[in-house]
Structure 1
Amino acid sequence: MTTTRLPAADIARPAHRDPNVLRWLGAYASSAIGDNVYYIALSWAAVRAGTPAQAGLVMSLSAVPRALLMLGGGVIADRFGPRRVVIGSDAVRCAAVLAVALLLFAADPGLWPLTLLALLFGAVDAVFMPAVGALPARITRRDQLARVQGMRGLVVKLAHVVGAPLGGLGVALGGAATAFGIAGLLIAVSVPLLVSVRVGELPPNDRDTRPGARQDLRAGLRYIRRHRVLGPLVLVVALGDLGFVGPLNVGLTLLADRRGWGASGVGWVLAGFGIGAGAASLLLAVRGRIPRAGLVLSVSIVGGAGAITALAHVPSVPAAVAAAVAIGLLAGLSGALCGALLQTESDPAYLGRVTAVSSLVSLGVAPLTMPLVGAAIGVWGTGPVFTACAAVCAMAGVVGLGSSAVRRAEL
């Protein structure tokens, strides 16, 4: 599959008016909604086929191959091209989900096909996610990357809003098999859209000619370590995710339980977070550029850390919702700016590996901290643990502010 040089007309358009970008965004939306339906189907099927402990194990299995294979996935994305990898990944996921749907329609096979599907999804995600991160820089101008990140953030929120109810509807109408079928068809829609997306060529001196994958990986890690912006920026991303994931997942549920807010309280707080994150994505999608991006993202991380600390000490649900809106707004802004800066600063030939390294902590390591955060809250309570996690988050902002290259980075 060869890449094609983007026409001048497409290069001149802003991202939100570029048909090429919109085709990619449509493909991403369809795939993301399918993913959300898939997780609803998988959780329901696992609960019906096994014990709660077995269902939890099946749901967590995807993280293992994702963590182990993510760096290799970045090498694959750079070596074969992100468009080709994304198309292949969606095709494999579609075929696997539809196969399990047919199997569940025909029989009651138990947990083993769900286990295999979860492992396969994790392995494919390890290749898919670096390629998705590398693709925007190949379909639009660098000055449009912040806008693309904002548009992508809006699609992610849309996928959560649409995917979960759609998955529940599928389960209600025909059980997990029907929900899996819906997920597979949604993922299938993304494939022809991706095939129609045009991708810019790499300059001849940027094309990867090294003989081995191990050398590719070492070269990518060396490139990040020596880069004046990417090195500290990857550390910013890692610290931010390590401090953010625990409190906003298991910590929030435990906080609501201890305050007597109930499940509805958790729902309102999560809604507040979604509103804040959606507003940040909309801001970037509309403006397209944030001046002094490195400084803004560093300050936003520090502010978000303060809002996480406040969340653990607010007395009521309305106050918690207000804190969650602030967290969503600041975390959404800093996250989108980090993603845009990673793509702006990276050589296109290394983008898959850069995305893989930056995603490894958030998708592979940070989820493993959730049991530790839960155990720590059981011993010390929500206030001290939220404050400690917020301090880790704040360290990310301090690293960004302390690095003159990050602080002065522009989109």
Structure 2
Amino acid sequence: MTATVLPPAPARPDRPAHRDPDVLRWLGAYTSSMLGDSVYYLALSWAAVQAGSPARAGLVMSASALPRAVLLLGGGVVADRLGPRRVVIGSDAVRCAAVLTVAALLFLTSPGLWPLALLALVFGTVDAVFLPAVGALPARITGTGQLARVQGMRGLAIRFANVAGAPLGGLGVAVGGAPAAFALAGVLIAVSVPLLISVRVRDQPADRTDAPRGTAWSELRDGLRHIRRHRVLAPLMLAIALGDFGFVGPLNVGLTLLADRRGWGAPGMGWVLAGFGAGAGAASLLLAVRGRVPRAGLVTGCACVAGSVAIGALAFVPALAAAVGVALLVGLLAGLSGALCGALLQTQADPAYLGRVTAVAGLVSLGLAPLSMPFAAAAIGVWGLGPVFVVSAVVCGLGGAVALLVPGLRRAEIPG
């Protein structure tokens, strides 16, 4: 798709993100796209289960993970070469066309699992360029002093999409089955395209068409070298990796087993997850309203350490109400540290490398950290919930320790 290129926005003082038309258009596009994603995943799950066995449906649902993980670093190079706005527009256009095509195919015939598997592969491949670009885009549409607020607004959009997406997808399935749900997902993703086209981006050195280019491999190595040599980005990546590895296992596998062994059942687990979501939403709201957080590196480290203590405590709470309260605290602290990490990445990275920096962070969080889930499940079976939650909390706490002990990261600020 060839996007209409608008002239870069003229230099002007940074206006508050919640009053900036470009930020609001971007936020509307992002929210609509995330809603479409939520509806799509529900429709894919429903259609896969209806068309095949549970085991085959599971393979279809996981088909997008491999191309996303393998291609993500290359996607960062693409985002930096072409510009994140152009890549996000193209990605949403491709995803919309793919989803609507499958919706039409399912409406006209019963093709089985192969179009669903192909759709999942397309989504995973497109995600490999979409994720670095969507992470790098906020720095192109607002000033560095507003990035913490934008991260908060983005977090609220994600929470809203997670809450509203499932009911919307369920309504689509109830009205017209999987074809209607896929069509709804495609329409929601399509809404983002004209909004993104209308967003004006700031010019960056990487946007100069006459700038010399190396090979994709050399540009990837340059991006990795930029991270490795940076006094803030290198320890920040390590802190993110440790935090995610310590967080993903307990909150995905461990929580299910905890609810089962405590006798809370699925409703109890739902309440605990709701507590976590409420805490993360509160952290996003706090950043969206407050904007700048002084001593961001120090606050990030403290939030990680305190959050790790709450994660460890979750396994030893006997009552459901108390577990919901602890989960709310975990969500608040994890949401705060995660949003600040995102803002620090965007403000500390050289703009020419931002797509590649975002890709590395995404690979750690979305490609590598989920690998801890089967190990967490196996370890719980051998040693029990308490020891595994404690070890996970220690790993997560090490991420906070890195933020507190490395001077460059501890003293890092988000410009105001």
Give me the TM-score of the superposition, normalised by structure 1.
0.98
Q: Deviations over 1:56-84 (max 9, x none)?
A: 11111111111100000000000000000
The answer to whether 1:37 aligns with 2:39 is yes
Q: Secondary structure at the match of 1:12?
A: coil
1:206–1:349 Cα contact (<8 Å) kept? no
CA offset digits 1:130-182 (Å, max 9, x no partner): 00011000000000000000000000000011111000111111111110000
1:135 to 137, 150, 159: 137
- Once the two structures are superposed, residues 300-330 of structure 1 have per-residue CA deviations (whole angstroms, 9 ceiling, x without a partner) of 0011111110111100110110110000000
Q: Does 1:397 align with 2:403?
A: no
- Measured at CA, do residues 3 and 407 of structure 1 come closer, stay the same or move farther in structure 2, by a change above 3 Å? farther
The CA distance in 2 between the partners of 1:206 and 1:238, in whole Å, is 33
Corresponding residue of 1:236: 239
- Asked if 2 retains the 8 angstrom alpha-carbon contact of 1:206 and 1:348, the reply is no
Displacement after TM superposition at 1:206 (Å): 7.6
Q: Residues of 2 paired with 1:138 and 1:48: CA distance?
A: 43
Corresponding residue SS for 1:124: helix
Is residue 3–residue 201 contact of structure 1 (8 Å, CA) maintained in 2?
no
SS in 2 for 1:290: coil
* Counterpart in the other structure of 1:52: 54
Deviations 1:7-27 (A, max 9, x none): 355x43111100010000000
2:211 paired with 1:222: no
1:314 corresponds in structure 2 to 317
Task: Quote the residue 2:30 is aligned against.
Answer: 28
**Corresponding residue for residue 368 of structure 1:** 371
Q: Is the 8 A contact 1:58 1:114 kept in 2?
A: yes
Q: Which one of 246, 250, 254 corresponds to residue 247 of structure 1? A: 250
Which residue is equivalent to 2:186? Answer: 184
Alignment correspondent of 1:286: 289
Runs of 5+ consecutive residues of structure 1 not aligned to the other structure: none
CA distance in 1, matches of 2:371, 2:14: 44
Question: 8 Å contact 2:14–2:142 — kept in the other structure?
Answer: no
Identical counterparts, % of pairs: 71
Displacement after TM superposition at 1:211 (Å): 2.5
- Give the corresponding residue for 1:106: 108
Q: Is residue 42–residue 166 contact of structure 2 (8 Å, CA) maintained in 1? A: yes
Choose from 64, 76, 83 the match for 1:74. Answer: 76
- Counterparts of 2:381 and 2:324 in 1: how far apart (Å)? 23
Aligned length: 410
Shift of 1:5: 2.6
> Could you tell me which amino acid in structure 2 is paired with residue 213 of structure 1?
A
Query: Any unmatched runs of 5+ in structure 2?
Result: none
Shift in Å, 1:221: 0.3
The Cα shift of 1:375 comes to: 1.6
Paired residues of 1:30 and 1:190 also in contact (CA < 8 A) = yes
Under a length normalisation based on structure 2, what TM-score does the superposition of the two structures give? 0.97
User: Which amino acid is 1:343 matched to?
Assistant: Q
Residue 205 of structure 1 deviates from its aligned partner by 9.6
Give the 3 Å change call, closer, same or farther, for CA 192–2 of structure 1 in structure 2: closer
Match of 2:67 among 54, 65, 68: 65
Whole-angstrom distance in 2 between the partners of 1:57 and 1:68: 17
Q: RMSD value over aligned CA atoms?
A: 1.3
Partner Cα separation in structure 2 for residue 12 and residue 358 of structure 1: 27
Q: d(CA) in 2 for partners of 1:14 and 1:83?
A: 21
> Cα offset for 1:89?
0.2
* Contact 2:81-2:207 at 8 Å conserved across structures: no
